[in-house]
Amino acid sequence: MKKFQIPEYYKSPIIGKVKTKRKLEDPRKKDFSPTVLNFGNVEFIISRHFGFCYGVENAIEKSYKAIQENPDKKIYLLSQMIHNPEVNEDLESQGVEFIQDTEGNQLIPWDQIHAEDIVIIPAFGTTLETQSTLENKGVNVAKYNTTCPFVEKVWNRSAKLGVNDHTIVIHGKYKHEETKATFSHSKEEAPSIIVKDMQETKFLANYIKGNISTKSFLDFFEGKLSVNFDPEKHLTKIGVVNQTTMLATETQAIADYLNKTMREKFGDQDIKNHFADTRDTLCYATNDNQSATLELLNQKADLAIVVGGYNSSNTSHLVELLEPKFNTYFIKNKDEIKDSNTIHAFDIHTKELKEHRKFLPNKEHIRIIITSGASCPDSAVDKVIQSVLMLKKAPITIDQIEI
């Protein structure tokens, strides 16, 4: 796999050594068991897979290259490069400005963007409408387009389904930049609909089975359907794709549920003419990170810490997997650890930052699970580990630890 040039301050000596050793021992990624580092009175159980993925490293390399190659030009990012505050803040500190926020709200008017300006397309990709706006201004959108190749793979899958007259069912978060981009591309090839979760999928299935009126269907999915979507015509032949950072088990459950629904409606013998048996379109990093996180559930630990941006979809799903078993704290960086007694962690259910007291157990030896999302620098995980070691006055230092 290609090696990318990313700034050194995103890297971590300790995490780098752990990942290098695991890669040498398990080059085919068959072993999802974690690495355990024992610092005497604190053990860190480190997930087999976490941190920057191929698409993120590609985006970061191209973004910093744009800064280096264009010192005298205005440089814009269409929206956040990735869902990580440290990366985005660093880009802003170097003069990069965001045209839109993550909700798609305009921060800089289009009339301020000119042909000679540099516009970086983020890893999530963008909509055809936005791309057209930039191209009509004469902006070279191809030069610094950092769209993840795994996102483009979903677009290609959607196009193939459209050629075969399938309607595209997209499992994704409607307001997420990637889902917006995928929807924009898929609706050009085929009728398209977005479902957020199993609840929305069941509503869709109930319509297919004739239990819901067309008006109720159109009202329920308003804003999540392609133009001129006709449910009576367009829900007889479907295929499922997804936002690449969704929970794998949920996507599979949605596909299985819709497969079962179509079998009930049209019969088993004719199912190939009504349901495309597509494998889920999650990227490899999402699959690996989630599989490694599931392996963490076999461990005994006092707590779990997940590091990453609070608006990161793939990171929130790691929290979702861990929190049923462990006291799980979702933090953006070490600054959320206030002292040995207090941590501020993000609640994925209420979308609020909450204070937790006595998060570190008062015992001689504690075991902490730690992982991060695909958009989180290894250096951020390293600093969290060091913060906890300092608070616990661990007898073994990072320099002394055996890997």
Residues 296 and 375 in one domain: yes
Give the pLDDT confidence score for residue 243 in this predicted structure: 93
Q: Is 337 a domain residue?
A: yes
Q: Name the pairing type of β-strands 337-339 and 275-276.
A: unpaired
Q: Is 219 a domain residue?
A: yes
Residues 111 and 206 in one domain: no
Cβ 274 vs Cβ 236: under 8 Å = yes
Give the pLDDT confidence score for residue 13 in this predicted structure: 84
CA quadruple 57, 61, 67, 73: dihedral sign: negative
Residues 59 and 48 in one domain: no
Residues 168 and 253 in one domain: yes
Residues 174 and 266 in one domain: yes
Residues 36 and 63 in one domain: no
Rounded Cα distance between 356 and 4, Å, is 38
Q: Is 3 a domain residue?
A: no
Final residue before a domain boundary, out of 211, 245, 276: 276
Q: Report CA-CA distances (Å) from 262 to 158, 258, 279.
A: 19, 6, 17
Residues 209 and 314 in one domain: no
* Domain harbouring 179, CATH code: 3.40.1010.20
287, two tokens = 């699959």
Q: Name the pairing type of β-strands 366-372 and 303-307.
A: parallel
Residues 303 and 382 in one domain: yes
Question: Of these residues, 57, 178, 200, 336, which one is catalytic?
Answer: 178
Final residue before a domain boundary, out of 256, 276, 296: 276
Q: Is 170 a domain residue?
A: yes
Give the pLDDT confidence score for residue 1 in this predicted structure: 60
Give the pLDDT confidence score for residue 399 in this predicted structure: 84
The number of distinct structural domains making up the chain is 3
The stretches in the chain having pLDDT less than 70 are 1, 279-280, 282
Residues 231 and 323 in one domain: no
Residues 270 and 188 in one domain: yes
Q: Is 68 a domain residue?
A: yes
Residues 312 and 246 in one domain: no
Cβ 138 vs Cβ 117: under 8 Å = no
Model pLDDT for residues 131-150, shown as the tens digit of each residue: 999 999 999 999 999 999 99
Residues 179 and 200 in one domain: yes
Q: Is 145 a domain residue?
A: no
Q: What is the pTM of this model?
A: 0.89
Q: Is 401 a domain residue?
A: no
Model pLDDT for residues 317-367, shown as the tens digit of each residue: 999 999 999 999 999 999 999 998 899 999 999 999 999 999 999 999 999
Q: Which domain holds residue 62?
A: 54-136
Give the pLDDT confidence score for residue 340 in this predicted structure: 85
Give the pLDDT confidence score for residue 80 in this predicted structure: 81
Q: Please state the three-class secondary structure of the chain as a single string.
A: CCCCCCCHHHCCHHHHHHHHHHHHHCCCCCCCCCEEEECCCEEEEECCCCCCCHHHHHHHHHHHHHHHHCCCCCEEECCCCCCCHHHHHHHHHCCCEECECCCCCECCCHHHCCCCCEEEECCCCCCHHHHHHHHHCCCCCCCCECCCHHHHHHHHHHHHHHHCCCEEEEECCCCCHHHHHHHHHHHHHCCEEEECCHHHHHHHHHHHCCCCCHHHHHHHCCCCECCCCCHHHHCCCEEEEECCCCCHHHHHHHHHHHHHHHHHHHCCCCHHHCEECCCCCCCHHHHHHHHHHHHHCCCCCCEEEEECCCCCHHHHHHHHHHCCCCCEEEECCHHHEEECCEEEEEECCCCEEEEEECCCCCCCCEEEEEEECCCCCHHHHHHHHHHHHHHCCCCCCCCCCCC
Q: Is 141 a domain residue?
A: no
Give the pLDDT confidence score for residue 280 in this predicted structure: 63
Q: Identify whether 352 is a catalytic site residue.
A: no
Give the pLDDT confidence score for residue 249 in this predicted structure: 87
Final residue before a domain boundary, out of 73, 104, 136: 136
